[in-house]
């Protein structure tokens, strides 16, 4: 189309709009390159900073639109884990996506999502409406969702994916009015179970 646009000035604006749109889409899709497992023949070291950068780029527009601040602690930036990006990144994407949805209802205080680390655990914390005591028992169940039109698959799949690499996804026990804290941490029991299976 570039040649046509050069030969027909009336098409120039249309060409530039389409080119900008494709460039934007190409940049957006490039963000998902770390999720291509074929790129990684072996597990790699993933840093908290890399996770933060990925999330900040992916959600930049939505965070600005809903006036949500993505905060990151020094502990998170310095944290590391070993694995496939295709296993861990989607879990963080799901947690932040959920937090953004629920924070839209938070009108009486600043909206915040915080990435933090405690020991070997990585945390995704928000100051939204939290999770009710009744829902805490079902939040990781397949097809359970409080989102209008939600399919209730994200948290279930995230937990199952992490379990396959000896990690677990849990919800910290805090008051429902104090937001939610999801914890991603190594599962020593899971690792033991897998070792026994391999030995057998």
**Residue given tokens 């999801």 in the structure block:** 182
Structure tokens at 178: 């104090």
For 17-61, how does the pLDDT look when each residue is reduced to its tens digit (9 = 90+)?
A: 666 555 545 554 555 566 665 666 688 999 999 999 999 999 999
Q: Output 190 or 94, whichever has higher pLDDT.
A: 94
Which H or E run contains 13? helix 12-30
Q: 190 and 134 share a domain?
A: yes
8 Å CB contact between 165 and 100 = no
Does position 140 have pLDDT exceeding 50, yes or no? yes
Question: For the whole model, what pTM was predicted?
Answer: 0.76
Domain contains 38: no
Task: Identify whether 112 is part of a domain.
Answer: yes
**Helix/strand/coil for 146:** coil
Which structural domain range is residue 20 located in? Answer: 1-30
Q: Do residues 24 and 58 both lie within one domain?
A: no
Residue reference for tokens 């405690």: 118
Highest mean pLDDT range out of 5-19, 25-39, 166-180? 166-180
User: For the chain, how many helices (H) and strands (E)?
Assistant: 8, 7
Give the model confidence (pLDDT) of 76-88 as tens digits.
999 999 999 989 9
DSSP state of 71: E
User: Can you read off the two tokens belonging to residue 168?
Assistant: 């677990």
């Amino acid at each position: 189309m570039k040649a046509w646009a050069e030969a027909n000035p009336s098409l120039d604006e249309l060409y530039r709009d389409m080119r900008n749109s494709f460039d934007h889409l190409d940049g957006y899709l490039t963000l998902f390159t770390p999720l291509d497992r074929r790129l990684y023949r072996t597990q790699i070291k993933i840093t908290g900073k890399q996770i933060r950068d990925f999330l900040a780029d992916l959600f930049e527009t939505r965070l600005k639109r809903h006036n949500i601040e993505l905060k990151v602690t020094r502990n998170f930036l310095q944290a590391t884990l070993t694995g496939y990006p295709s296993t861990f990144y989607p879990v963080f994407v799901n947690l932040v996506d959920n937090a953004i949805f629920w924070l839209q209802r938070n009108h009486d205080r600043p909206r915040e999502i915080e990435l933090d680390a405690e020991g070997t655990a990585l945390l995704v914390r928000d100051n939204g409406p939290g999770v009710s005591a009744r829902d805490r028992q079902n939040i990781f169940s397949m097809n359970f969702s409080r989102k209008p039109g939600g399919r209730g698959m994200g948290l279930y799949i995230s937990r199952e994916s992490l379990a396959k690499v000896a990690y677990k996804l849990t919800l910290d026990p805090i008051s429902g009015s104090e937001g939610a804290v999801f914890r991603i941490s190594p599962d020593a029991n899971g690792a033991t179970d897998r070792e026994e299976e391999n030995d057998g």
